[in-house]
Structure 1
Amino acid sequence: MKFLVKNPIFDTKTEKTYLTGEVFDVTAKRLEEIKETLEQQGGFDLYLEELTNETTSEAEVTEE
């Protein structure tokens, strides 16, 4: 699953920081592990937005 990072996050498992605008590629299992933490920090939607084919196409057009 791929998500657009809306606010910076730090993945404690990989020890990598994802900045706003980057793509966070995560398995469903790992997503469940971090979802609770993100909810405690203001809400999942505050940090990540799932990328679909439609949103990916829009992002590509915006970048040009």
Structure 2
Amino acid sequence: MQRVIEFKKKSWWSGGIDTVALNEKIAALNGDGWQVKSMVANTVAFGRVDSYSLLIELQEAKK
């Protein structure tokens, strides 16, 4: 099974994407059996990154 999720959490100091929180989210997804297949930056005016779209896939249990 695959899903697309959007990560938008901003850093309080810089106003940019909170990469520490993004890495924590990816680690939590991995712990729940999801694997990130791809990640794309979503940009706004002048190329500023506003969010990330992640394609995740649920790993089947090994038999």
TM-score normalized with structure 1 length: 0.33
Q: Which has the higher helix share?
A: 1
TM-score normalized with structure 2 length: 0.33
Q: Which has the higher strand share?
A: 2
Structure number with greater Rg is 2
